[in-house]
Amino acid sequence: MAKHKTAPAAKFLLAIAVVIVLILIGGIILNLNEKAALKFAFVPSHEIASEEATPAPDYTSDAAWAAVPGKTSSAQMMPEGVMRTAMVPEVDVFYIHPTTYFEKERWNAPYDGNEKAMRWTDNFALRYQASAFNLAGQVYAPRYRQATFGAFFDDSGQGVRAVLNAHNDILAAFDNFIATRNKGRPFIIVGHSQGALHALLLLGERVSPTNLRDLMVAAYIIGWPVSHEGDLAVLPGIEACQTKNDTGCVVSYQSFDKDGDATSLLKVIATTPGLNGKPRGGTKILCTNPLNWKVDGEATKAANLGALELLPEPGPIAEPIPALTGARCGKDGILYLTRPPKGSWSQYQMAGGNYHTYDINLFYMNLRENAADRASAWLEKHR
């Protein structure tokens, strides 16, 4: 397949989306004082223009991929006690990991030269996120020169450039995936946090404008606000998933405590532009309930097939915890946990009762089952 060129309209959408992610992640995680402290602690002090670029990943080599068929990785893991079931062999999963680089020495991490970032990618992102989708197909997860954590607290414009640099790698990885690895099979796109930004942009740049939209099983844009009017409306041929078996569609949710305060997030959503370039105030935010796959749905804890406790040290994935919490979509588009877990589940909880870090862990087994169901539904529909 010929290499795609980014059209001017797509570049405009990219610029808008980058501004949104910088404001959102920089503004909702913490209050102003905490944000100032993190800015001091994590934002690089040097100009990004002075930073010597590290080598670009060569995606023709398996070494540039954290997970790829035939290569041992944490994406192949399964929770303890879960029966091994044959995956859907005809489908691929393109997974983009969240931020795992937290140092201020560089605006963009070397894709293979920082051991801490690579450990976080393997022991958290692949282990607890990508593995949830390995029943639905073969997992491909590119390593990329991700923007550092501090880039999302920068207001000088250099953080934007860092995210753009990272996105160029994702485009190159996806182009290689489509041209030489996927071989025309249907595929699922998954992204969380920084990875969700890149996943959303891929829909606008590579999938929606091309015949690839006919091969997309679904896109899981998790931990990222998606507006029906402001974002989905500029993705022709792609809509929100309405039922558990819909295909060619988008799933999105953001997890908060039962009594969580999403006010800061909602204010930012309302005042920042969507992919259509207009403020999203007054638009409807997509909330897919991962317990019953209904938009704006509500479900009790009985529908939770199993959550995974996040254990940062390497090792097996613990046995899933069924019925840990229910969830309901609020009128504001936020997914509120009806029985928010405490203990270790609070270790990485963010301001306002935001369970962002645990978006996938909380509903791991439901995501695992649903991705496989959608893959099978796509194959049945197109046979």
DSSP calls for 178-193: IIIISTT--EEEEEET
Q: Which pLDDT belongs to residue 186?
A: 98
Q: What is the rounded distance in angstroms from the CA atom of residue 65 to the CA atom of residue 59?
A: 7
> Which is nearest to 91 in space by CA: 205, 210, 196, 183?
183
Residue 152's closest CA among 45, 22, 41?
22
Q: How far is CA 102 from CA 42, 43, 107, 284, 297, in A?
A: 7, 9, 10, 33, 35
Residue whose token pair is 């969380």:
192
Phi-psi region of 39 (alpha: psi -120 to 50; beta: other; left: phi over 0): alpha
Q: Convert the pLDDT of each residue in 223-258 to its tens digit.
A: 988 999 989 999 999 999 999 999 999 999 999 999
Tokens read off for 278:
């207009």
The answer to whether position 356 is within a domain reads yes
pLDDT in tens, 7-22: 434 444 444 444 444 4
Q: Is residue 1 a part of any domain in this protein?
A: no
Structural domain includes residue 211: yes
Within a domain: residue 3? no
Our count of domains for the chain comes to 1
191, β-bridge pairs = 96, 221
* Better-scored residue on pLDDT, 297 or 88: 297
Average pLDDT over residues 153-162: 86
Summarize the confidence of residues 117-125 as an average pLDDT: 93
Structural domain includes residue 295: yes
Check whether 1 has a pLDDT greater than 50: no
Query: Max CA-CA distance within the chain?
Result: 56
Among 56-70, 225-239, 365-379, whose mean pLDDT is lowest? 225-239
Residue 312 has pLDDT above 80, yes or no: no
Is 0.85 surpassed by the pTM of this model? yes
Helices (H), 203-246: none
pLDDT score recorded for residue 315? 87
User: CA 77 to CA 121: how far, in whole Å?
Assistant: 14
For the cut 60, the answer to whether the pLDDT of residue 334 exceeds it is yes
The rounded distance, in Å, linking the Cα atoms of 208 and 22 is 24
Q: Does residue 278 lie within any of the structural domains? A: yes
DSSP state of 215: T
Q: Which of 96-100, 305-309, 344-348, 358-362 has the lowest mean pLDDT?
A: 344-348
Q: The domain containing residue 45 runs over which residues?
A: 8-382
With respect to residue 2, please indicate whether it lies within any of the assigned structural domains: no
